[in-house]
Amino acid sequence: MTVLVTGGAGYIGSHVVRALREGGRDVVVADTLRTGSRAAVPADVPLHEVDVLDRAGLTALAREHGVTACVHLAGLKNPGESMTDPGLYFETNTSGTLSLLRACVAAGIEHFVFSSSCSVYGVAETLPITEDSPLLPISPYGHSKLAAERVVEAFGAAHGLGWASLRYFNAAGASADATIGEDWGPTRNLIPLLAKATLGQREPVLLFGDDYDTPDGTAVRDYTHVVDLAEAHVHALDHLVGGGANTALNLGTGAGTSVLEVVRGLEAVAGRPVPVEFADRRPGDPPAVWADPARAAQVLGWKAARGLEDILETAWRWHSRGATSSGSSA
Between residues 328 and 280, which one has the greater pLDDT?
280
Interval 284-292 mean pLDDT:
87
Asked if omega into 128 is within 30° of 0 (cis), the reply is yes
CA dist 18 and 11 (Å) reads 11
> Average of pLDDT values for 290-301?
98
First to last CA, the chain: 23
Q: Out of 141, 168, 212, 223, which one is annotated catalytic?
A: 141
Helix H or strand E segment including 294: helix 294-300
Q: Tell me what pLDDT residue 327 has.
A: 41
Q: pLDDT averaged over the chain?
A: 94
Hey, how many other C-beta atoms are within 10 angstroms of the C-beta on 289?
23
Predicted confidence band of residue 323 (pLDDT cuts 50, 70, 90): very low
Share of the chain above pLDDT 90, in %: 89
147-188 residue pLDDT tens: 999 999 999 999 999 999 999 999 999 999 999 999 756 578
Q: Give the residue range(s) of CATH 3.40.50.720 domains in the chain.
A: 2-172+223-251
- For strands 205-208 and 162-168, give the pairing: unpaired
- Taking only the tens place, the pLDDT of each residue in 76-135 is 998 889 999 999 999 999 999 999 999 999 999 999 999 999 999 998 889 999 999 999
The class that CATH gives domain 2-172+223-251 is alpha beta
pLDDT score of 256 more than 70 = yes
Nearest to 127 by CA among 254, 257, 306: 254
Burial of 297 (0-12, 13-18, 19+ CB in 10 A): middle
Q: Output phi, psi for 66, to 5 deg.
A: 65, 40
Per-residue pLDDT reduced to its tens digit, 169-180: 999 999 999 999
Rounded CA-CA distance 57/6 in Å is: 13
* Band (252; pLDDT cuts 50, 70, 90): very high
Write down the pLDDT at residue 283. Answer: 77
313 has a pLDDT exceeding 90 = yes
202-245: pLDDT as tens digits: 999 999 999 999 999 999 999 999 999 999 999 999 999 999 99
Whole-angstrom Cα distance, residue 4 to residue 20? 11
Q: State the amino acid at position 273 in one-letter form.
A: P
Report the pLDDT value the prediction gives residue 259, as an integer from 0 to 100: 98
Query: In residues, how long is the chain?
Result: 330
Confidence at residue 183, expressed as pLDDT on a 0 to 100 scale: 75
pLDDT of residue 226: 98
CA distance linking residue 198 with residue 190, whole number of Å: 12
Classify residue 255 as exposed, middle or buried by CB count within 10 Å of its CB (0-12, 13-18, 19+).
middle
pLDDT at 45: 98
Do 299 and 249 contact (CB within 8 A), yes or no? yes
Whether residue 262 is predicted with pLDDT greater than 50 in this model: the reply is yes
CATH of domain 190-221+254-320: 3.90.25.10
Kindly give, in sequence order, each residue whose CB lies less than 8 Å from that of residue 265, ignoring residues fewer than 6 positions away.
308, 309, 312
CA distances (Å), 180 to each of 41, 58, 62, 238, 300, in order? 9, 26, 26, 24, 25
Condensed to tens digits (0 to 9), the pLDDT of residues 25-38 reads: 999 999 999 989 99
Give the model's pLDDT for residue 185. 60
Higher pLDDT, 110 or 326: 110
E-strand stretches of 118-235: 162-168, 171-172, 205-208, 220-221, 224-225
Q: Is the pLDDT of residue 326 over 50?
A: no
CATH 3.90.25.10 residue spans of the chain: 190-221+254-320
pLDDT band at 321 (very low <50, low <70, confident <90, very high): confident
Alpha carbons 111 and 123: distance in angstroms, whole number = 31
Tell me, yes or no, if 168 is annotated catalytic. no
Residue 325 has pLDDT above 50, yes or no: no
Give the single-character DSSP code of 154: H
Where on the phi/psi map is residue 179: left (φ > 0), alpha (ψ -120 to 50), or beta? alpha
